[in-house]
Chains A and B, each alone.
Chain A
Amino acid sequence: MIRIERRAPMSREAAAGLRLAGVAGALLAGAAFLSATGHDPGQAYLDMLRGAVGSPYAAQQTAVKAIPLALTGLGVALAFHAGLWNIGAEGQLAMGAFLASWAALGLSWPAWALLPAMGLLGLVGGGLWALLPAVPRALWGTNEIITTLLLNYVALLWVDYLVFGPWADPSAFSFPYSRPFPDAARLPLLPGTQVHAGALFVVAIAAALGFVLRRTAWGYEIRVTGHSPRAAAYAGMPVRANVLLVMVLSGAVAGLAGMGEVSGVIGRIQQGISPGYGYSAIIIAWLARLSPWGTVGVAVLFAALINGGFALQTSGVPAAIASMLQALVLFSVLVGDFFVSHRVAVRRGRAAALPAQEAAAEP
């Protein structure tokens, strides 16, 4: 009989080895599949690696892609620290992009005034959008997983409405995007690179989050609330106010990612600003164990995987296989992660109680 059970904690090295083994397994399985479908696996992996980090240009593109992933990931991680499931980073990103674009398209200010205003509006847009589900959660315990998720659709449709309707570029023959932003509304590139200044947001927010969570009294409250809301109430912590505040901040960071995309990358607002960054953010935050710098690191790996997949397509491997490889790597990392804390037990003979019964018997 085979069953899955929790295992005794393993050492850091063993855990890291297990995770690496997971990735290696995924690459082997992918290689088998590639050769079965008539592709050269060595070449394919080389293409992927080149596309992700093979040249200064490729590496910088990966960095650009990592910016929204890291920002939304940091927002989601902050909420998770307080025990809140913010599945709404995608919508919060869109609302941040919306408010920032409103300033970009409506105000003819110089860059030194316009860019900070757009950044601020990005924060406000995402923050307010997250406040909407935070209020019922704080007051009545309404499940925020569902409310934040559903509000994503509302936000995305709102942006669609704008770019198809009132904000549609008159010269674009009904393509779903706005007029291009004026130059003053474009985030500058970091000197000597192709990476826009949104990268600085990532560094600043990761550093701030690390400090706040580890070193401040408020961060302590958040961690206690996340681990055990009842203990937080018992210690007299303002649990409701913190739920509101954390959700707003979490959404604000995601909103800033939206501002970064429209201002730093696209230069206008359009349909589909994000190919699901806000959802990837959830996986990223979890894989990073909610650590702020870990989130940044995982976001970069994620971005590399995405860009590597693109490169694979340009060398003749179908898009479906490229996505499959990405999924395989991701899946095996998650599986490796699972087996850090669990194991498969095989019992000989006609054994044994069912796991459910065993669990029920625990006092």
Chain B
Amino acid sequence: MDVYLQDIRKAFPETVALHGVSFEARPGEVHALLGENGAGKTTLMNILAGLYQPDEGSIWLGGQRRRWRSPAHAIAAGIGMVHQHFKLVPPLTVHENLLLGVRGPLWLHRRRDAARVASLAREHGLDVDPLARVWQLSMGERQRVELLRLILRDARVLVLDEPTSVLTPQESQALFATLRSLARSGRTVVFISHKLEEVLRAADRITVMRGGRAIATLRSQDARAADLAALMVGRHVTPPQPSPPPPGAPVLEVDRLTVPGDRRPLAVREVTLTVHAGEIVGVAGVAGNGQRELAEALAGLRPIASGAVRLDGRPLERATVRDRIEAGLALIPEDRLDVGLVGEMTAADNLILKSYRQPPLSRRGVLDPRAVRARARAALGRFSLAVPAEAPVRLLSGGMLQRLLLARELAEAPRAVVAMSPTRGLDVGAAADVHRALLEAQSRGTATLLLSEDLDELLLLADRLAVMYDGRISAILKRAEFDRPRIGLLMAGGAA
């Protein structure tokens, strides 16, 4: 079905998300919607799927003007959307989830329907066990369930919001094959992304969005990565060039560390790692394989079961969070807001989060507001951050928040830093700034453990790369051994 969105405008209380965007996609094509965070991609597609009403503009489907009364109305008209956060019911089985919202008899013919689902799944390369419960599935499998559900409802237009953000490289490959097969069957497929390579690889046409406007639509065989990047960002971005210093003495040593998890007995099992001064060690892995628990245990935020952690030879595994901070261990947490920063407080107040007890910021327990302001000015100046000093930081963009967090954590040249997905959700420019800050800390001798789900980032920055699967480090590779397919295999639990 032809999709045409005409001059769509949508304002939210604080921002105008879309300033009159037109977008067009055809049956049989895979169409990528490319843009940085906050460009308005999700909002535009939510309007197509009936979740938001446009303030102005119209939706045309197969040449007919449509106006959605509700998301259900859009679904009935053949629009299906896989949201970034899946809308499945974890305690139910795959099969039960598939039938939710499908009109028809209320009872479920477990066996008969299961067979039908299985055959549909085979046709499009979407195999999942229909009787498995959703909470047991990996993110890739859950995504397949979402897609199957849309196909079962006979969606003619399929929209996927950042579908690869939760996938391993192999899973992404498989997903794109599925999307191709769905397009070939006559459906219109739109996927949202901010990754240039995959857009070039998987899409027939690409629409680039920036700042609430559609900038250009190109055929992917005519597009080059550098041009797309410039369209997306609005200027040329130079990626930082790593030039690692020769690694120094061991700084952060982790020895057979085992950490209990929240949902399973052991989230981290016997992990052994060493990070040297001036070295960046990457940890690759699909989300949920123990990376978060490892980072939290190193920072002292999660009790450990056994094993040792040393910083400059000093045992830290029983030390308090405060002792670790004072020993020079910094953590860039996964949740910028609410863990790394206090959203309701100002930038100045946030910059003293770890040093508020030290002179000159406070003496005998009394804060010196002038010293606090001076500290803020110095830190913001050093990282050339134009952040309003008196406004609560929750009003800042993700990129600004992360720069602020780095300004604090890296200001005093920590001995070691544990960084958890430091560029997740950031636009290209902000991500480059974060990378530059990490590299700069490296050049000053900081030992960095970088946990990330973004393989490109790890391949760019890491001197060595550990792959984590099911709580274990399955391999540690040197730069010369970096090899995408092999790493992908390791991330999926395969042997090296």
- The interface of chain A, by Cβ under 8 A from chain B, is 5-8, 215-221, 223-224, 227-228, 230-231, 233-236, 347, 350-354, 357-358, 360-361, 363
Contact = CB atoms under 8 A, between A and B. Distances in A.
B428 to A, nearest CB: 19
A215 B321 CA distance: 24
Nearest to B296: A234
Nearest to A229: B338
A199 B90 CA distance: 58
B339 A357 contact: no
Interface stretch (B19-27, B48-56, B435-443): B48-56
A29 B211 CA distance: 48
A230 B338 contact: yes
24 contacts: A7-B13, A216-B366, A217-B357, A217-B365, A220-B356, A224-B353, A228-B338, A228-B339, A228-B342, A228-B344, A231-B339, A231-B340, A231-B342, A231-B353, A233-B321, A235-B325, A235-B354, A236-B322, A236-B324, A347-B53, A351-B53, A353-B50, A357-B51, A358-B52
Contact of A363 (B42, B87, B342, B369): B42
Interface residues of B, number: 47
Contacts of A217: 356-357, 362, 365-367
Contacts of A363: 42, 84-85
A234 B321 contact: yes
B345 A223 contact: yes
A228 B365 CA distance: 21
Contacts of B323: 236
Nearest to A6: B13
B158 interface: no
A350 B69 contact: yes
Nearest to A235: B353
B245 to A, nearest CB: 29
B345 A216 contact: no
Interface in B212-244: none
A5 B13 contact: yes
A353 B52 CA distance: 6
A56 B354 CA distance: 52
Contacts of B13: 5-8
A8 B12 CA distance: 9
Contacts of A8: 13-14
B333 interface: yes
A354 B331 CA distance: 40
Contacts of B83: 361
A354 B52 CA distance: 9
B319 to A, nearest CB: 10
What secondary structure prevails in chain B residues at the interface with A? loop
Interface of B: 13-14, 42, 46, 50-53, 67, 69-71, 83-85, 87, 299-301, 320-325, 331, 333, 335, 338-345, 349, 352-354, 356-357, 362, 365-367, 369
Nearest to B391: A9
B69 A236 contact: no
A357 B69 CA distance: 12
Contacts of B71: 353, 357
A234 B51 contact: no
B435 to A, nearest CB: 23
B424 to A, nearest CB: 12
Nearest to B83: A361
A234 B333 contact: yes
B53 A215 contact: no
A107 to B, nearest CB: 35
A354 B53 CA distance: 10
Contacts of A358: 51-52
Contacts of B342: 224, 227-228, 231
A227 B14 contact: no
Given A234-B301, A353-B70, A363-B85, A227 B345 contact: yes
Given A234-B331, A357-B71, A361-B51, A216 B367 contact: yes
Nearest to A215: B367
Nearest to B362: A217
Contact of A215 (B339, B341, B366): B366
Contact of A233 (B42, B67, B301): B301
Contacts of A353: 50-53, 70-71
A224 B345 contact: yes
A7 B11 CA distance: 12
A320 B70 CA distance: 47
B391 to A, nearest CB: 10
A217 B323 CA distance: 18
B346 to A, nearest CB: 11
A120 B333 CA distance: 44
A221 B362 CA distance: 13
A8 B354 CA distance: 32
A217 B83 CA distance: 43
A114 B79 CA distance: 79
Given A231-B338, A353-B52, A353-B53, 12 more contacts: A216-B366, A224-B342, A227-B344, A228-B343, A230-B339, A231-B340, A231-B353, A350-B69, A353-B70, A357-B51, A357-B70, A363-B42
B253 to A, nearest CB: 21
Contact of B341 (A216, A231, A357): A231
A353 B67 CA distance: 11
A312 B70 CA distance: 53
Nearest to B85: A363
B52 A227 contact: no
Contacts of B321: 233-236
A361 B367 contact: no
A169 B333 CA distance: 63
A64 to B, nearest CB: 34
Nearest to A1: B53
A110 B300 CA distance: 54
